[in-house]
Amino acid sequence: MRNRSVIAAVSVSEAPHFEGADLTGANLTGADLENATATTSNHL
């Protein structure tokens, strides 16, 4: 699942609208990447 964090990081860079719309849906992992980098590891 670590790959998801990497992909999400790329998505954040490419998606300026990322902060709002996609946050609730599919790209939640990417938006949370700032705070959930460690959290994601904990969930896994």
25-38 tens-digit pLDDT: 555 555 565 665 55
> Is the separation of the CB atoms in 27 and 15 below 8 Å?
yes
What average pLDDT does range 9-15 have in this prediction? 55
pLDDT at 1: 54
Contacts of 23 (CB under 8 A, 6+ apart): 31
Q: What is the pLDDT of residue 43?
A: 54
Write out the DSSP string of 1-44.
Answer: -HHHHHHHHHHHHH-GGGGTGGGTTTTHHHHHHHHHHHHHHHH-
State mean pLDDT over 2-27: 55
pLDDT at 44: 55
pLDDT at 4: 60
